[in-house]
Structure 1
Amino acid sequence: MLKLLGDELIGHDRLAVFELVKNSYDADATVVDVTLALDAKPPAITVNDNGTGMSAGTIETAWLEIGTDSKRRATTRQRSAMGRLPLGEKGVGRLAVQKLGEKVTLTTRQAGQPEYEFSINWGQLIDSARYLGDGLHVSVEENSTPKVFTAGSGTRVVITGLHREQWSRRDIRDLYRLITSLSNPFDAAKSFEVNLHLPGREEEIEGLPTLQQMLDAAVWNFEFTLDESGMLTWAYAFTPPRFKGLKAREAHDVEKLQLLEPDEDELPVEAGRMRQKRDDRIFLVPDDLKGIGPISGRFHAFHRRDEILKASGAPQQLKKWLDNQTGVRVYRDNIRVFNYGEPGEDWLGLDARRINRPAGKLGTQSVIAQIGLSLVSSSSLKEKTNREGFDDNEAFQRLKRIVLSIFDRFHREHAGDRAEIDKALKGEQETPPPVQVALERLETLGKQRGIEKEVKPILQSIQQELKTFREVMVSSGMAGINLALIFHEIVHSIDRVQRKLQGTADPDDIRREVDHLRKLLDTFKPLLQRDPPRKVTVEDLVERASGMHEDRFQRHGVVFSNWTTDPDRKHSFTQVLPRGLMVAALSNVIDNAIYWTRFRKELDGRKEPGAILVLSHWDDETGGLIAVVDNGPGFQLPRDQFGRPFHSTRAGGMGLGLFYCKTVMDSIGGKLEVIDAADLRDTIDLPEAYDGAAIVFSFKNEK
């Protein structure tokens, strides 16, 4: 059992080194030197710090006692002289030395006190007794004349009898990458520094780019602090290379954080109860940060196209280095929490979310990101015993949602600049979201999970449906719309299935998710069935579109008024058009109006309810119009970005709704525009309460 605790509790050698370095942090060390002496005789790994050292009593009652609570007792869990709280909690991290080698020699000294030393041969120690209770003896010696710490204090751990004496060039570089990331690289005070020494093999890390060299090649930079009241302070910088006239840009603001809607499968389930109801709040509130505390961080994002990297002066070596350095890391009190940000560890699901919007979102291999937490304030985030992340509890789910919401704010700010780079690279052509690629990946993951026979036929059926939809779009004059732009909900469902397949979900759960995806397609089918133009009244269009949201009006307390059916205010007219497409367009705009009226009410703390008005108007010369007017904050984007895909100020928004509406109106010879509600009063007598935006659908005069 003792051997298992040391050898198998820690995931790999690099984490074992990290556990020893954490002990140095707890001892108030400012510098830790890790030496990998593979050519020495015998080969050894040494961890040497300048911390406070240990007394004989501490060695006996803490280091040599398994599972001690010396760092987590309320009476001892106090800040050190340097203001640090102990990182260790479970009292088993010191056994990590067994992961590295058979023998450990520890030398330690407190300032002005004797130096102590002891050695443990794990094989001999374990064989010396059958049970822990029989007594496993370790002899601690006092060095009358200090051997190591002749002045000052500190602790040195030397591990020999290494379980792995042969380290490849890649192993060395991986360890170097890990060591340089143990302490927060953005800690300006450099209060804790970890160095790696490789006697005889220094050339194996020569030429590797420094962190600053990598950051100099970043195209987008975003720095933020989120205080405990929920206010987000951020600064953004677009720093493109000299490439086809791209211009730098900076922005900053202080605002309430808009929250992304949580995924249904990520909502917490209380014991013995049903899954909790989705939280419909738009903004973060202080309770969301309970047990998490304030959050700070930096995002440095890269454009990985060769043309941009070359223009940045970034060598090919930097591109390879990014493959191992990118990711979203978490630091508590400037010490890293593993294994967040390691290659292949996508704790936020950024890669899966990128399927939805590849041209607008960033995957893990495009960002070097740091999330900073306070150890004392984040008490609800508990590290797993194997040191590979936090327990997946309710507080951790809240942390993920908050950090993803901050990422979303960054995505929305960088969208316009990203579009400029894409335009410079390939002109106006849009890169279509790879729906086909996503489906093929699902098929591969299904095969890996052993449920290919069940999943493959359904995916093939979905592919056939997509092909049919595409044909319908062409025949209806809408070939200019990419399929995934209309049905982003379909791709979102693919995301969910993929995340489950990448995890350890039950195969039956996967089958249900894929079946849900199939049913989702069925619900959209009526909108893209061959929908020949027909004569419809404005009243019919508005009633069908608004009817889709009746429950939401009531749930969110939004007052909805429909003047198209009011005898005293109605302006009735008919049009010949595809009814399904037009109803979907109106529904999209009403959905946006619901969100933005709620947005303003929460943001300003208004007592007045959200209000939406739909009206029609007819003019014999210019034709008819339908307007959706609200009392929200007004249109948030620059007017020249109206109707452009992937431009949105709404949390989680993709900017596809208005793009869809604009394309529908273009296809029938109409027009879609956005104006201030006040401007509509030049034509229509509107109540003053409607002071937000007005989305106007204009139709040609068919008389």
Structure 2
Amino acid sequence: MFKVSARTVLELGAELISSDIIAFYELIKNGFDANSQAGVDIEFDVVLTQNDYVRASRKIREAVDEDVSLEQLISSIEERFLVGASDHARHTYLSELRAATTLDELLVAMERAQEKANSITVSDRGHGMSRDDLVNNFLVIGTPSRKAGVDVALRSGEANTPFLGEKGIGRLSAMRLGDRLQVTTSRAGDRHENVLEINWKDFDRLDAFIEEIPVAPRTGVQKSDRSSSGTRIRVSDLSGNWTAEKVIQMCNEEFGRLTDPFVNARRRPRVAVVWNGTRLDIPAMPRTLTDAAHARVVGSYRVVDGQPLLTTTVEVLDLGFEHPPVADSLTQELADLQSTLIGKGDEVSDAALLTVGDFSFEIHWFNRRRLSRVDSVGDGRAIRDQQDQWSGILMFRDGFRVFPYGEEEDDWLELDRRALRRSGYSLNKTQFVGRVNISRTKNPQLVDQTNREGLRETPEQRVLLEIVRYSIQDRLGIEMRAVERAHKSAKIDLSEAKNRVEELRTSARVAVGQLRTVTPKEGRQAVIQVEQTLLELDEFARAAHARIAEVEKESRQMVEMAGVGLMVEVVAHELARATQNSLRALERLRGAELPEKVASHLSTLRVEMISISKRVRVLDPMSVSGRQRREVFSLDALVRETMDAHESQFARHSVRVELDLDAAVRIRAVKGMIVQILENLISNSIYWMDMRSERESRHRPLIKIAVESNPPTLTFEDNGRGVSAVNRDKIFQPFFSLKDTKRRRGLGLFIARDAAEYNGGSLELSEVKNSETGRHHRFVLTLPGGDR
């Protein structure tokens, strides 16, 4: 059997409570858990501040060598008494002081007065506690009573939780505020009040066990009204230096955020703070603040009939230049959410998309540079000051704050870190005013850590973070950049892609150099093939970069620049992958003596190099010499050549290809652009078919391509996850992507459609739905004939 030391109580309190506001938060929640319809009152009754007490004590010690009387010292202390302290508290303080007959006694008396007279009282008019309740619940650390009530609510599917707290240790928060606790409580019908007093210092004995510390309730005074009920928690021997300025600041910055400030003030749970008899204002967030936002994203996540749905609405209202207001709504279903939030091979299971439960959020963005330039008076300044006061993205459970989300030093969505890595509009945490709403019954897996330092790390917690982060960084951020591109001069920045290409080319050169040192004589010819392939890629990449420099001059050619950049990166990546795989294969040849083993590994190397050679040859029409030249060619031959180049990739992903090609179809177009369209369709198909294969063991990836005449038409269809009806047009928008963060670019289909239109054709997602998935899988590319 475990034995618990008395100091464990102090350790629990120290671990649980990291700040004064969390201590108040725990005590306030207890009041509402007691079903207090009148809310909770917090009353400060401070006669002398801690700092003045220290100064007065120093003055008393110095008076030993001076000719100062006790009366003079007591009078000087009384002169420092705070205005508004209660008569009872003042009388208590003075009585202690006047009982002293020497300076030493005065020091002791002053310490005793400081402990007794100054207090913080948290009271409610809830159902209160009987003596049995005090013994069996309040004095039982980790009591299961509230947890049992919450569990019943969860099992029965109730909309609201019966309790905000359930761990049974929140009562220890009082020790953060002071060392002495007095609980006065009663239920309706009780004749007397029930009183419990605790001195937390008693638990600081190193050799004592918890059962050795005597703590027991007693019967208090008789009640004047037996029908009354409620609880008063009085904390004395205060720990902090409490002043009016400090409490006012807490009201403005802390108490105003304890309950949801977005809710109408009349509907918010009532919390009243009184400083020495004067009630202080707890500010409510004005609706004019969120109405003045420059952009926002509002979202709801729901599980309907066992299927998750994320609906987000983005509004871009004022980016600082002339543009019409833009609003865009998007609903994402299970297949989209699996990819966007989890991706391929991620640690989070798909089940978390269901078990996370329903929640909602609204996040308002402000351009702080614009706010800093507004007039120093009037409405502009008011909005700026309000945004400073309420900045941050807060989280509320059943209307009450979840700490520390939204604190100034807390970057729970990693917005600041991510903002440093991207260009464009600043999306750091100080730009936002927002909230995320969860509940205990709808989100049972989103549970606070015991120390109130955020939610426990669970798959559901990660899904919540990813949804909110995605809604800000991708939904809101991309829409803002789209408005900027449409209505303000902008350029597509490919510097990062070019740097990445150069890194991959360097990596490939290093790999070839190492191949020389480990390859036996029998494999020298394969190394020469690798070098030749690398030279071809270098020529191709240099030509592509030269083309990028040319097309930067015109907006029409910016699209081409992006397409060339992306394709160069794909080729460079494939070359680096193949050479590095080959290097690993040849490394295994060190010390090998069997010619058969050498031949086997060299065979692997040759297959890899042949694959890369095909890719480079297929993409050669995109070079400077062929990029813009329209020519008449056979569409079926181009399709076969392109698909052959992916033979190795299809084999790795177990993809079966069915071709139905009309050999009589000839078109007049820029061959490189048609290749680019096919490449983007293939790339997307591989991703979405992989997504489905990971989740469905019986899935067999399949790509179907048909070419028909009159007019020349290419139909591309796969059996991957498909596209939902609401996203049929969105997938062609620049930077819109439903892939996971590692693969999310959102340019492929935008460039493919643009290439089709440039050649006088069109690229659409067919209205036909797949009978198995209920989603769209078929792309239709229409092109002009070869007789034009």
TM-score, length-scaled by structure 2 = 0.59
> Unaligned stretches of 5+ in structure 2?
1-6, 47-81, 90-116, 501-538, 553-557, 571-610, 627-632, 769-774
**Mapping of residues 329-408 of structure 1, within 5 Å:** 329-352=394-417, 359=424, 362-401=427-466, 407=471
1:693 maps to 2:779: yes
Pick one of 19, 26, 36 that aligns with 1:19. Answer: 26
Does the CA-based 8 Å contact 1:633-1:692 persist in structure 2?
no
Q: Which moved more, 1:7-16 or 1:394-403?
A: 394-403
Whole-Å separation in 2 of the counterparts to 1:3 and 1:660:
64
Q: Distance in 2 between matches of 1:423 and 1:122?
A: 65
Distance 1:180 1:223 in 2: 24
The structure that is helix-richer by fraction is 2
Residue 588 (structure 1) aligned to one of 650, 673, 680: 680
Distance in 1 (CA, whole Å) between partners of 2:216 and 2:460 is 41
Once the two structures are superposed, residues 656-679 of structure 1 have per-residue CA deviations (whole angstroms, 9 ceiling, x without a partner) of 22345578899xx86774235599
Across the aligned residues of Structure 1 and Structure 2, the Cα RMSD in angstroms comes to 5.6
Alignment equivalent of 1:428, drawn from 489, 492, 501: 489
Structure 2 CA distance for partners of 1:239 and 1:399, relative to 1, 3 Å: closer
One of 636, 641, 649 as aligned partner of 1:548: 649
Residue 85 of structure 1 aligns with which residue?
Answer: 162
Q: Structure 1 residues 474, 135: closer, same or farther in 2, change over 3 A?
A: same
Once the two structures are superposed, the pairs formed by residues 522-541 of structure 1 within 5 Å of their partners are: 538=638, 539-541=640-642
1:136 aligns to 2:214 (yes or no): yes
Q: Distance in 1 between matches of 2:33 and 2:459?
A: 28
How far 1:356 sits from its partner (Å)? Answer: 7.0
Aligned length: 588
Helix, strand or coil at the partner of 2:195:
strand
Residue 94 (1) aligns with residue 164 (2): no
- SS of the aligned residue for 1:387 comes to coil
Aligned with 1:165 (options 232, 241, 262) = 241
Match of 1:307 among 358, 370, 384: 370
Alignment-mate amino acid for residue 397 of structure 2: R
Q: Does 1:658 align with 2:749?
A: yes
Distance in 2 of aligned mates of 1:661 and 1:361: 30
Give the alignment of 1:254-333 within 5 angstroms: 256-257=333-334, 258-259=336-337, 260-262=340-342, 267-268=347-348, 288-290=353-355, 292-293=356-357, 295-307=358-370, 315-316=380-381, 318-319=383-384, 321-322=386-387, 325-333=390-398
Distance 1:143 1:489 in 2: 82
Contact 1:29 1:192 in 2 (8 A): no
* Aligned equivalent of 1:178: 254
Deviations 1:91-131 (A, max 9, x none): 22111111122222333232343333343332245459822
* Aligned position for 1:646: 735
TM-score (norm 1): 0.65
Q: Is the 8 A contact 2:667 2:783 kept in 1?
A: no
Distance change (3 Å), C-alpha of 1:84 and 1:412: closer
Distance 1:487 1:545, change over 3 A: closer
| Inter-CA distance 187–54: structure 2 relative to 1 (3 Å threshold) | farther
- Spell out, residue by residue over 1:497-540, the C-alpha distance to the aligned partner (whole angstroms, 9 max, x if none): xxxxxxxxxxxxxxxxxxxxxxxxxx99x99x999557897233
Q: Could you tell me whether the CA contact under 8 Å between 1:303 and 1:309 is conserved in 2?
A: no
Change over 3 Å in CA distance of 1:662–1:230 after alignment to 2: closer
Structure 2 matches for 1:432-471, cutoff 5 A?
none
Distance 1:325 1:15, change over 3 A: same
**In the alignment, does 2:157 pair up with 1:106?**
no
The residue aligned with 2:11 is 4
Q: Which moved more, 1:649-658 or 1:46-55?
A: 649-658
Alpha-carbon distance in structure 2 between the residues aligned to 1:419 and 1:378: 34
Partner amino acid, structure 2, of 1:27 = A
Residue aligning to 1:505: none
What secondary structure, in the 3-state scheme, does the structure 2 residue paired with 1:88 have?
coil
CA contact under 8 A between 2:195 and 2:220: conserved in structure 1?
A: yes
Query: CA contact under 8 A between 2:296 and 2:315: conserved in structure 1?
Result: yes
The offset of 1:182, in angstroms, is 2.3
Give me the whole-angstrom Cα distance separating, in 2, the residues matched to 1:18 and 1:126: 25
Q: Aligned partners of 1:599 and 1:696: how far apart in 2?
A: 28
- Residue 477 of structure 1 aligns with which residue? 548
Q: Which string of whole-angstrom CA distances, capped at 9 and with x for unpartnered residues, describes residues 353-390 of structure 1? A: 55676558955444444333342343333322112222
Shift of 1:262: 1.8
- In the alignment, the residues of structure 2 paired with residue 162 and residue 431 of structure 1 have an alpha-carbon distance, to the nearest angstrom, of 60
Structure 1: where are the runs of 5+ without partners? 269-277, 280-284, 440-467, 491-522, 680-688
**Code of the aligned partner of 1:8:** E
Instruction: Give 1:693 shift.
Output: 2.8
| Paired residue type of 2:288 | Q
Task: Answer whether contact 2:415 2:427 (CA < 8 A) is retained.
Answer: yes
Aligned with residue 138 of structure 2, among 50, 63, 71: 63
CA 1:617/1:14 → structure 2, altered by over 3 Å: closer, same or farther? Answer: same
Distance 1:413 1:347, change over 3 A: closer
Q: 1:501 matched to which residue of 2? A: none
Percent identity among equivalent residues? Answer: 22
Q: Using the alignment, how far apart are the partners of 1:484 and 1:343 within structure 2? A: 43
SS in 2 for 1:227: strand
From 94, 109, 121, give the equivalent of 1:46: 121
Distance 1:659 1:92, change over 3 A: same
- SS of match in other structure, 2:452: coil
Query: How many Å separate the matches in 1 of 2:541 and 2:221?
Result: 81
**Shift of residue 225 of structure 1?**
5.0
**What letter is aligned with 1:540?**
E
Letter in 2 for 1:476: R
- Cα pair 1:105 1:119 within 8 Å, conserved: yes
Distance 2:273 2:221 in 1: 28
Instruction: After superposing the two structures, state which structure 1 stretch, 247-256 or 176-185, moved more.
Output: 247-256
Q: Distance in 2 between matches of 1:356 and 1:342?
A: 23
Distance change >3 Å, CA 344–CA 562, structure 1 → 2: farther
Instruction: Pick closer, same or farther for the CA change 1:235–1:609 going to 2, 3 Å.
Output: same
Specify the alignment match of 1:456 in structure 2: none
Per the alignment, residue 561 of structure 1 pairs with 658
Task: Note closer, same or farther for the CA distance 1:116–1:191 as it changes in structure 2 (3 Å cut).
Answer: farther
Q: Structure 1 362/590 Cα, relative in aligned 2: closer, same or farther at 3 Å? A: farther
Is the CA contact (8 Å cut-off) linking 2:127 and 2:187 kept in structure 1?
Answer: yes
